[in-house]
A and B are shown apart, each in its own frame.
Chain A
Amino acid sequence: MNPSSFGRQIAALRRFAGVLLRHPQSALGTALVFFFLFVAVFGAQLAPYANPNDQSHAPRVSPTMDIGALQLGEHPFGTDRLGRDVYSRVILGAGSIFRIAGLGTLISVLVGSAVGLYMGYRGGWFDELLGRVIDALLAIPALLLALVLVGIIRNLDFEIGSWQAELADNVVLLVIAVLYVPVVARVARSSALDIKTREFVEAAEIRGEPTYYIIFREILPSVIPALVVEASLRFSYAIFLVASLGFLGFGARPPSPDWGLMVNENRGGFYQLTPWALDFPALAIAILVIAVNLMSDGIRRAVQKGN
Chain B
Amino acid sequence: MTTPLLDVENLTISYRIGKRWIPAVRDFHLQLAPGHVVGLVGESGSGKSTVALALMRYLSSNGRVESGGRLAFAGEDLLSKSAAEMRSIWARRVKLVPQNAGAALNPSLKIGAQVIEVLYAAMGIGGAEAEQAVLGMFHDVNLVDPEKVADRYPHELSGGMQQRVVIAMALITNPELLILDEPTTGLDVTTEAVILDLVRGLMAERDTGVIYITHNLGVVAQLCERVLVLYAGEIMEEAPVDQLYAQPRHPYSLGLLNSVPRLGQSKADSRLHSISGNPPALAQLSSGCVFADRCEFVIDKCRVDKPPLEQLGDGRAVRCFRWEEVDASFLDPSVETSYQSSFHGDGEEQPGRQIDNEVGDKLMRVTDLKKHFPVAKSLGDWLRGKTPAPIRAVDGVNLTLGAGQTLGLVGESGSGKTTLSRLIIGLQERSGGQLELLGMDIRNSVRERSPDVLSKLQMVFQNPQNSLNPYLSVRQALRRPLVKLRDMTPAQAEAEVSELLRRVNLREDYADRFPDELSGGEKQRVVIARAFASDPDLIICDEPVSALDVSVQSAVLNLLARLQEEHGTAYLFISHDLAVVGYLSDVIAVMYLGQLFEVGAASDLFQPPYHPYTEALVSAIPVADPEHKAERMLLHDVLPSAQHLPSGCRFHTRCPRKIGAVCEEEAPPWREVDAGHAIRCHIPLEELSAQQRSFLRPEEIG
Contacts and interface: CB of A to CB of B under 8 A. Distances in A.
Interface of A: 2, 4-5, 8, 198-200, 202-209, 217-218, 221-222
B484 A208 contact: yes
Contact of B427 (A8, A202, A208, A221): A202
A207 B485 contact: yes
Contacts of A202: 427, 459, 461
Contacts of B484: 207-209
A2 B475 contact: yes
B469 A200 contact: yes
Given A2-B475, A4-B512, A8-B514, A206 B459 contact: yes
Given A206-B459, A207-B481, A208-B451, A200 B466 contact: yes
B461 A199 contact: yes
A203 B514 contact: no
Given A203-B530, A206-B427, A218 B469 contact: yes
A199 B449 contact: no
Given A5-B476, A199-B462, 12 more contacts: A2-B512, A4-B473, A199-B463, A200-B468, A203-B530, A205-B446, A207-B480, A207-B485, A208-B446, A208-B449, A221-B469, A221-B471
Contact of A5 (B458, B463, B473): B473
Interface in B432-478: 446-447, 449, 451, 454, 457-459, 461-463, 466-473, 475-476
A216 to B, nearest CB: 11
A206 B446 contact: yes
A222 B470 contact: yes
B454 A207 contact: yes
Contacts of A206: 425-427, 446, 454, 457-459
A303 to B, nearest CB: 14
B55 to A, nearest CB: 31
B515 to A, nearest CB: 9
Interface pairs A-B: 4 shortest CB-CB: A221-B471, A199-B461, A199-B467, A198-B466
B467 A200 contact: yes
5 contacts: A4-B512, A8-B514, A207-B480, A207-B534, A217-B472
Nearest to A224: B471
A208 B426 CA distance: 10
Contacts of A203: 459, 461, 467, 527, 530
Nearest to A205: B446
Contacts of B468: 200
Contacts of B471: 221-222
Interface residues of B, number: 33
A240 to B, nearest CB: 33
A217 B483 CA distance: 15
* Majority secondary structure of chain A interface residues (helix, strand, loop or mixed): helix
Contacts of A5: 473, 476, 514
A204 to B, nearest CB: 8
Contacts of B446: 205-206, 208
A198 B475 CA distance: 20
Interface in B555-580: none
Nearest to A7: B512
Contact of B466 (A2, A199, A221): A199
A263 to B, nearest CB: 45
Interface in B391-441: 425-427
Contacts of A207: 454, 480-481, 484-485, 534
Contacts of A204: 480
Contacts of B462: 199
Contacts of A222: 469-471
Nearest to B533: A207
A211 B522 CA distance: 29
Nearest to A8: B514
A128 to B, nearest CB: 13
Nearest to A12: B471
A209 to B, nearest CB: 7
Nearest to B542: A199
A192 to B, nearest CB: 14
Nearest to B483: A207
Contacts of A209: 480, 484
A204 B485 CA distance: 11
Contacts of B514: 4-5, 8
A181 to B, nearest CB: 25
A87 B425 CA distance: 68
Contacts of B472: 217
A208 B454 contact: yes
A80 to B, nearest CB: 53
A4 B513 CA distance: 8
A2 B473 contact: yes
Interface string B479-490: 011001100000
A205 B466 contact: no
A5 B515 CA distance: 12
A11 to B, nearest CB: 11
Contacts of A221: 469-471
A277 to B, nearest CB: 50
Nearest to B475: A2
A208 B425 CA distance: 11
Contacts of A198: 466
Contacts of A205: 427, 446-447
A217 B471 CA distance: 9
Nearest to B530: A203
Contacts of B466: 198-200
B451 to A, nearest CB: 6
A98 to B, nearest CB: 31
B411 to A, nearest CB: 21
A14 B470 CA distance: 18
B448 to A, nearest CB: 10
Nearest to A221: B471
A209 B466 CA distance: 18
Contacts of B481: 207
Nearest to B450: A208
A253 B415 CA distance: 68
A198 B471 CA distance: 13
Nearest to B484: A207
Contacts of B454: 206-208
Contacts of B512: 2, 4
A203 B459 CA distance: 7
A198 B469 CA distance: 9
Nearest to B540: A206
A263 B458 CA distance: 65
A196 to B, nearest CB: 11
Nearest to A208: B454
Q: Which of A205, A206, A207, A209 has the most CB of B within 10 A?
A: A206
Q: Which of A4, A203, A205, A221 has the most CB of B within 10 A?
A: A203
B445 to A, nearest CB: 9
Nearest to A209: B484
A296 B468 CA distance: 30
Contacts of A199: 461-463, 466-467
A47 to B, nearest CB: 44
Nearest to A202: B427
A205 B472 CA distance: 16
B45 to A, nearest CB: 20
A8 B473 CA distance: 10
Contacts of A200: 466-469
Contacts of A208: 446-447, 449, 451, 454, 484-485
A2 B458 CA distance: 27
B465 to A, nearest CB: 9
Contacts of B470: 221-222
Interface in B101-160: none
Contacts of A217: 472
A201 to B, nearest CB: 8
A2 B471 CA distance: 12
Contacts of A218: 469
A193 to B, nearest CB: 15
A202 B427 CA distance: 7
Contacts of B527: 203
A199 B447 CA distance: 17
